[in-house]
Structure 1
C-alpha cells in the first residue's frame, strides 16, 4: 500500500531513472514514486539505438527497461510525454509543460544528455540526423535501408563511438559511408593515436571512407534535400543524408535555472558528491547529467555510458533512502562494430598515461590494451577477448604496480599481476 505522505520524484525517463524507481521499491520504499519523462515511450536503454536495433538484428520491444505493465504493478506513477519545465526548490515542486505541479520530498534528476548540433549552414535540410532517442533510431533505420537499396551516401560528422557504430550499421545495409573527423584518427581522445588507427583500418576494410583533419563547414541542398557536404579544407563529398555525431552535452537547464551547483570544465553536468547528492540536500542526480566527485579516481567525472546509468540510478535511489553510498564504480562501456566486440574499463584521457601495453594479437584484433602511468593501470580495452573485465578493473581499482613485460605476456594470468 502506497504511503502518500512521502513522495519521491524522478525527472528523466531513461535507464537511470527507471532503475532508480525499481530500486526504491526493491529497497522497501512505500511512498509515492513519480517518474517524469519528456518522451512518450516508456523508459528504454540507448545502446541498441546504434547497435542491434539500428542494424535490424533486434526488435523494437527489446530496448525497453521494463514491460509497460510493470510500472503499474510496482505503483510507479508515470508522466510520459511531459517535460519538466521548472524546479521550485523553495516549495519543493516541479512544474510540467502542461502546467501540472508535482510536490516532492526528495528529487532525482536523471535528465541525461542531448546531441551537440552542427552550427553550419544547411542543418535544416531534410536528411540531417542525430541519434539519441528511440524516435531517431526509428527514422534512421529506414534511412539506412533506403540508402543501401539506392546506393546512397551517408556522411558522418564525427568518428566517436556513435559515429563509428552508425557507420558500421550503414555498411551492413550497403550504404556508402564517409566519416569526417577533425582528429587524425578515430576515437582519438578515448584510445589515443596508439589504437585509433586500428579502428580506421577496421572500417576501411568494410568500405568506409575517412576524411581526417577536417570539419564540415556547410551542407548543400537541392529541393530541400541534402546533396553534398563541404569541409574546411575545401573538399566536397556527395551525400544524401548526414549524421551529426559530434558528442553530447548534459541537460542541465532545469538544474541551472534552480541555481544548483554545476560542474566546471568542458564536461559540465550537475555537480554531485560521492553519494550523488547535489548542492541541495533533497536533490540527487544520476546518469549522463551527473558529474560525480569520484572517490576512486580522485576527480570530478561525468560519464555518458550505459553502465553508468545502470549503476548510478540504483546508487542514487539508495542514497535517497538515507543509506550510505559511495559511488566509485570503474567507468565501463562496450561497443560492437562488424565482427569486433570490445569493452573498455577505466579512464585514461590524453596526457594522463606514459605508455600503452598490449597482450595478444593486435593484427587479428584479439588482444587487450592497457594504458599505464608509472606502471599503474589506468584503463584497459579488451577486443574480442572475453571474461577479463573483472581482473582489469581490479588492477585499476587497487592501483597495483605492474610489470609491463608480464602485463604483455598472455601466459601470465591477469589475476596474478600487481603489487600494492
Structure 2
C-alpha cells in the first residue's frame, strides 16, 4: 500500500493530510510521528498549560475518531530514520518500511541547545514538546529562583507564567533589547516595562557563560558581566533548529531548512516539505526565510495538500505571529526587517496601540499590543500591496479599514 506518507504529526503534517483529503485526494494517507501523543497544540505549553489553565487532554487537536473519519492513519511512537528516494520508501527505527507515492516532510524544529561549561545538570530545561511542558510544570512547582536564558517568545512567555506563579524570575538576553529581530524598539521597551512591573529582572546585553551545580542539580549561572545568579531552575529559549537531517541525508537541498517552492515542493519528484523545517522565498521578506509559527505551518501545508491533489494554489500568506504575556496580546503581521520608517497608532499608555513599519513608503509590517482590528486590516492590506500613508496610520481618526474597499470591489 503506497499513497501519501507524512513524516511528523505537527500542525503542518496534520494540515497537509486534511487539505489533501479536502481536495479529494483519495489514496491512503499515513502520518508517522515519533511522539506517542495524538497531534496537539503547542502555543499553550508556555502559557495556559504551565498555569494549570488547560489540561493535557484539552491540548489535543483532534481525536482518533476524527482521523479515522478522514481515513488518515496515525502511526504514533514510530520514528523515521531514512528516506529512500530510489525505492520510494521511508525506513522506521523499529525496522519497518513504508512505501510512498508522495511524501511530506513536516518534522518541525527542535530547541537550540546551549553550549557552555556545566550546561547539563538536572534542572536545565528546554520547552518544545508536551513532555517538556509536563516536566517544566512539575519543576516550577518546586522552584523559587528561575533563570531564563533568552528574551525571545518562549523565554518571555515562560517568564510571564513563572511570575504569575509568584516565582523570582531573571531573564538573560544577549541583545540590546527584547525580541530585537521581531518587533520595533517601541514594543521592546513596552514589554521590558511590563515584565519589570511584574517583578521580572531582565538583564539585556549579557550572556550566560557557565552553569554551576550542587550534587548534580543546577545551583547557579555565571554571566559574562561577572555576576553569579542563584538558580534552582534554568529554562533555555535561544531559538530553534530545523529538523532537516532526514532530507539532507536523502540528497534534498537544505539551507536553514528544506528548500521548497511556492507549492512546498522540494527538488525531488513528489516530495514536499512544510512548516518549521522548510525554507521558502517570501516576497514579504524579499528573501529566503524559515518561519516558526502556527499560521505559517497551516497555510503552507494547505498549499502542499492542494498540490498533492493536483489542485495548485501557491503559498503566499503574509507572515503572522502572536504571543500572550500577562494580559497583553502581542500580534505581528508582515516582515519588518528592512523597514526605514515607523509610526504609532493608538495609546501606548492604555496598552492598546500598533506600530506601522514602512519601507520606501510601503507598509511592510504592523506590531500590535491589544489591537486585533489593526492586525486584521494590516494583513489584507500588506497582502494586496495597499498602504495607508504614515500620516493616515498615525491618525486614529482615520478609518484604516476604508482602504479595504478597493480589495472588496476587486473580489466582487
Shift of 1:183: 0.7
Moved more, 45-54 or 31-40: 45-54
Give 2:241's aligned residue. Answer: 249
TM-score of the aligned structures, taking structure 1 as reference length: 0.93
TM-score of the aligned structures, taking structure 2 as reference length: 0.95
* 1:227–1:238 CA contact under 8 A, matched in 2: yes
Give 1:330's aligned residue. Answer: 318
Mapping 1:250-399, distance limit 5 Å = 250-263=242-255, 268-295=256-283, 297-349=285-337, 352-399=338-385
Matched, 1:209 2:201: yes
| CA–CA distance in structure 2, aligned partners of residues 336 and 298 of structure 1 | 28
Shift of 1:91: 0.9
Give 1:193's aligned residue. Answer: 185
Mapping 1:409-420, distance limit 5 Å = 409-417=395-403
| CA–CA distance in structure 2, aligned partners of residues 300 and 272 of structure 1 | 10
Q: 2:212 is paired with a residue of what secondary structure?
A: strand
Moved more, 177-186 or 409-418: 409-418
| CA–CA distance in structure 1, aligned partners of residues 379 and 387 of structure 2 | 14
Q: Which among 34, 39, 44 is matched to residue 35 of structure 2?
A: 39
| CA–CA distance in structure 2, aligned partners of residues 237 and 296 of structure 1 | 41
Shift of 1:192: 3.7
Shift of 1:43: 1.0
| CA–CA distance in structure 1, aligned partners of residues 118 and 145 of structure 2 | 17
| CA–CA distance in structure 2, aligned partners of residues 380 and 175 of structure 1 | 33
Q: 1:95 is paired with a residue of what secondary structure?
A: strand
| CA–CA distance in structure 1, aligned partners of residues 387 and 42 of structure 2 | 36
Shift of 1:298: 4.1
The two structures, once aligned, show a CA RMSD in angstroms of: 1.6
Q: Which runs of 5+ in 2 are unaligned?
A: 408-412
Matched, 1:175 2:167: yes
Q: 1:300 is paired with a residue of what secondary structure?
A: strand
